[in-house]
């Protein structure tokens, strides 16, 4: 199919009103059989004073990591299914369903900041279609681009994504690389930074949004790392080295954080954002822990933990 640059930069998306969500069963009696209505998701509460014309709330989820595959998709996909379900536990779909049910009851909008699927499969894509329906919300994650087939080599560079654009465009009805939507006077800007970096055309589009003069909430998959968020990510990922004393040390800068420091476009964009007074907050995921830190004088960055562990954060905007 033919995907134009404009299509995947600006298609409508970003957030969805909970009123347009389908209704899902709020509990599956086969697990957590006795839990009550307050025990379905692990919730953090945040408040961003962005200057909204009237208050509203968003349920922010990220990193559901669905690992479904149909047997007819072949041995490679079934191996990935068996291998990765051991990483993410097998209750990811229930976590997503419970999160959406919670949102429908408790919040005004839902935002998903990527890694909804762990890798590309027909079964995973069918789940995306089932739960997001016609109105998609949020951003992609790095895992939206993976196949987990044995011959795949991850490059964490833009051309790696090229194979996937037509596929994802068919399944995810969002602006795949950039979208913006205003709610009660607050401009939510969603962008693809799934390998840690942003591209010049995205920066250009962001500046066009800033010209509107509205308060901005930046939504993306990979956080723009602060030293503290990077330190806590390292602590979480290396439990055997995570005693308090060692964990207080700054770990080596590598991966996404290093690319953010070394890529000139991303480095300059982050420097610009730090002095952009319209920026009132950043919502991100990817590192699977709920953590927040000050990003700039006007903006906190709120990272939400893995939805596969039933994590979510409810953000109130005033």
Q: Which residues bind Fe ion (CB under 5 A)?
A: 115, 141-142, 286
Would you say 233 or 280 has its CB closer to Fe ion? Answer: 233
Would you say 112 or 286 has its CB closer to Fe ion? Answer: 286
Would you say 124 or 187 has its CB closer to Fe ion? Answer: 124
Would you say 142 or 296 has its CB closer to Fe ion? Answer: 142
Residue 223 CB, nearest approach to Fe ion (Å): 10
Residue 1 CB, nearest approach to Fe ion (Å): 26
Q: What is the residue-wise DSSP string for the chain?
A: ----HHHHHH-S-S-EEGGGSPP--S--TTSSTT--GGGSSEEEEEEE----SS-EEEEEE----B----GGG-HHHHHHHHHHHHHH-S-HHHHHHHHHHHHHHH-SEEEE-S-SBSS--HHHHHHHHHHHTT---S---GGGG----TT-----SGGGGGGGHHHHHHH--S-SSEEEEEETTEEEEEE--TTS---HHHHHHHHHHHTT---EEEEESS----HHHHHHHHHHH-GGG-SHHHHTSPPPP-HHHHHHHH-HHHHHHHHHHHH-TTEEEEEE-SSSS-EEEE-SSS-EEEEPPPGGGTEEEEEEE-
Would you say 215 or 223 has its CB closer to Fe ion? Answer: 223
Residue 220 CB, nearest approach to Fe ion (Å): 11
Residue 87 CB, nearest approach to Fe ion (Å): 13
Residue 114 CB, nearest approach to Fe ion (Å): 6
Would you say 64 or 142 has its CB closer to Fe ion? Answer: 142
Would you say 64 or 298 has its CB closer to Fe ion? Answer: 64
Are the C-beta atoms of 267 and 290 separated by less than 8 Å?
A: no
Residue 161 CB, nearest approach to Fe ion (Å): 14
Closest residue by beta carbon to Fe ion? 286
Residue 254 CB, nearest approach to Fe ion (Å): 15
């Amino acid at each position: 199919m033919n995907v134009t640059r404009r299509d995947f930069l600006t298609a409508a998306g970003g957030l969805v009103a909970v009123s347009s969500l389908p209704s899902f069963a709020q509990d599956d009696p086969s697990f957590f059989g006795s839990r009550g209505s307050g025990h379905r998701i692990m919730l953090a509460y945040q408040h961003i004073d962005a200057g909204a014309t009237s208050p509203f709330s968003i349920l922010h989820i990220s990193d559901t990591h669905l690992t479904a595959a149909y047997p007819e998709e072949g041995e490679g996909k079934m191996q990935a299914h068996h291998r990765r379900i051991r990483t993410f536990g097998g209750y990811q779909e229930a976590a997503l369903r419970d999160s959406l049910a919670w949102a429908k009851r408790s919040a005004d909008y839902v935002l998903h900041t990527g890694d909804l699927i762990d890798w590309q499969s027909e079964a995973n894509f069918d789940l995306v279609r089932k739960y997001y329906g016609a109105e998609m919300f949020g951003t992609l994650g790095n895992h939206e681009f993976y196949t987990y087939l044995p011959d795949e080599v991850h490059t964490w560079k833009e051309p790696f994504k090229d194979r996937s654009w037509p596929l994802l465009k068919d399944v995810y009805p969002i602006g795949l690389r950039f979208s913006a939507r205003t709610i009660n006077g607050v401009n939510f800007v969603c962008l693809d930074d799934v390998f840690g970096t942003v591209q010049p055309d995205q920066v250009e589009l962001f500046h066009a949004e800033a010209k509107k003069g509205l308060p901005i909430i930046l939504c993306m998959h990979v956080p723009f790392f602060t030293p503290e968020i990077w330190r806590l990510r390292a602590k979480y990922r290396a439990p055997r080295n995570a005693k308090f004393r060692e964990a207080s040390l700054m770990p080596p800068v590598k991966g996404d954080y290093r690319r953010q420091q070394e890529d000139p476009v991303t480095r300059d964009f982050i420097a610009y954002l730090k002095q952009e007074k319209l920026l009132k907050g950043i919502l991100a995921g990817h590192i699977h822990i709920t953590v927040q830190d000050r990003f700039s004088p006007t903006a906190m960055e709120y990272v939400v933990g893995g939805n596969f562990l039933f994590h979510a954060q409810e953000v109130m905007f005033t």
